[in-house]
Amino acid sequence: MSYPEPRYLAEAGEHSGVLRPADTPPDLSMASGTQVHYLGTGGSTNGAFGLYRWEMGPRPSGPGAHFHRTMTESFYVLSGTIRLYNGEKWAEGKPGDFLYVPEGGVHAFRNESGEPASMLILFTPGAPREAYFEELAEISNTGRELSPEEWTELFLRHDQYMV
């Protein structure tokens, strides 16, 4: 394994770091009680990655088993208990637990503990997941019901293949 080709070619470094204070309000709230913080989006990282803090309320929430064709997904549990599925079995994820899923890897997560829980979700490369999250929030927050065909179309637009 070696370093990738340089992406920055200037002779001197630049002052381009971006700080997001911990007390920044969430970017998205869902009816389930989940709040999402856009820490580093594909747009803000020049496509390198997308990093989100996912704070789940005590009500059960989380997607069913699925995979992605274009990106990896990683989960790092910060607080509470989050059930993590690695495509073979479910595990009770506790603070400090980490799950990496390569492209094509079946996975899922759920908070079924009855208590709040939070984690970091990392996508590489930085796909535009915000549009997907915002669409899910709109559906959740309005109570809109989608047909199976509409769900399939939504998932396909966002590289989400349910199994």
The tens place of each residue's pLDDT in the chain, 163 residues long, gives 999 999 999 999 999 999 999 999 999 999 989 999 999 999 999 999 999 999 999 999 999 999 999 999 999 999 999 999 999 999 999 999 999 999 999 999 999 999 999 999 999 999 999 999 999 999 999 999 999 999 999 999 999 999 9
What pLDDT shows up at residue 84? 98
Task: Please list, in sequence order, all residues whose beta carbon lies within 8 angstroms of the beta carbon of residue 107, skipping any fewer than 6 positions away.
Answer: 65, 66, 67, 73, 84, 85, 86, 87, 99, 101
Per residue, the 3-state secondary structure of 72-83, as one string, reads EEEEEEEECCEE
Global pTM exceeds 0.85: yes
Ordered domains of the chain (ranges, CATH)? 28-162 (2.60.120.10)
Q: Distance between CA 57 and CA 28 in Å, rounded? A: 13
- Residue 58's nearest CA partner among 79, 39, 32, 36 is 32
